[in-house]
Amino acid sequence: MRFTTPLEQGRLVRRYKRFLADVVTDAGEHLCIHCPNTGSMLNCMGEGARVWFQRNNDPKRKLPGTWEIVETPQGRLACVNTARANRLVEEALLAGVITELAGFTALKREVAYGVENSRVDFRLDYPTGPAFVEVKSVTLGFGHTAVAAFPDAVTTRGARHLRELAALARDGVRAVQLYCVNLTGVEAVRPASEIDPQYAAALHDAQASGVEVLAYGVVLSPDEIRLAHPLPVVMRE
């Protein structure tokens, strides 16, 4: 996926009210732009961090741009636009990059399922039956370790999705938790039990119930982002 318009560079002043970020462009322009991320963005919003954003020239939109990429304190690049994850995964599915999920005959997005009023990101149909795929975007890294972690904040919604997937797996339906690791310089991913122990426990229970737990890393630059390679999921430290 190439960005539709070239990204502009700047420095982060602050992120606030969840969806707003003040930046100063390299040309010295002060802007308030959209921050498309509902998480804590732990390790991704340091004051003065190098950022890349997409300028918006649509007069109907209130903000002049959307924050896309940040340089973390460790010098890694992270895509903070969580809306990109599903698009990247869909692109990779259609291109056959995610080999574990190859061979499907139909792809459906945002399909209602389960007993807790959930919607799964993708339902893939195969001659042998469907597969339900839940996608999570990962941007959290600690220190200089090459292991990313999820989540970056407590997520009851994420734990609910794992329960729904586990119930499917116990009924003999293929269920997949896929981590889209939108962070460069990463060699593996793990549950962030120190942030959300309930989510970590739900992930262990889901895997024990038969849910497939996959992770894929990205190639990321201010020009493009694409899902590229599988990463191991470290269930226990």
Say what the pLDDT of residue 61 is. Answer: 81
pTM: 0.95
Q: Could you tell me where in the chain the CATH 3.40.1350.60 domains are found?
A: 83-230
Q: Is the dihedral of CA 93, 146, 149, 175 positive or negative?
A: positive
**Would you state the structure tokens that stand for residue 26, as one six-digit string?**
């390299």
Say what the pLDDT of residue 57 is. Answer: 77
Q: Could you tell me where in the chain the CATH 2.40.50.580 domains are found?
A: 8-76
Going across the sheet that includes 129-138, the strands are 106-113, 118-126, 129-138, 174-181, 212-220, 225-230
Alpha helices in the chain (DSSP H): 83-95, 156-170, 197-209
Q: Hey, what amino acid is at 35? A: C
Q: What is each CA distance from 22 to 7, 26, 78, in whole angstroms? A: 16, 13, 18
Which residue, chain included where needed, has tokens 């549950």? 191
On whether the 8-76 domain is CATH 2.60.40.1220, my answer is no
**Would you state the structure tokens that stand for residue 187, as one six-digit string?**
């060699």
Coil, strand or helix: which one is 82?
coil
Question: Which residues fall within 8 angstroms of residue 190, CB to CB, at 6 or more apart?
Answer: 147, 148, 149, 150, 233, 234, 235, 237
Q: What are phi and psi of 50, to 5 degrees?
A: -70, 130
CATH number of the structural domain 83-230: 3.40.1350.60
Q: Please report, in tens digits, the pLDDT of each residue of the chain (237 residues total).
A: 888 889 999 999 999 999 999 999 999 999 999 999 988 999 999 999 999 999 987 777 889 999 999 999 999 999 999 999 999 999 999 999 999 999 999 999 999 998 888 999 999 999 999 999 999 999 999 888 899 999 999 999 999 999 999 999 999 999 999 999 999 999 999 999 999 999 999 999 999 999 999 999 999 999 999 999 999 999 975
Say what the pLDDT of residue 237 is. Answer: 53
Alpha helices in 57-196 (DSSP H): 83-95, 156-170
Q: What are phi and psi of 146, to 5 degrees?
A: -95, 15
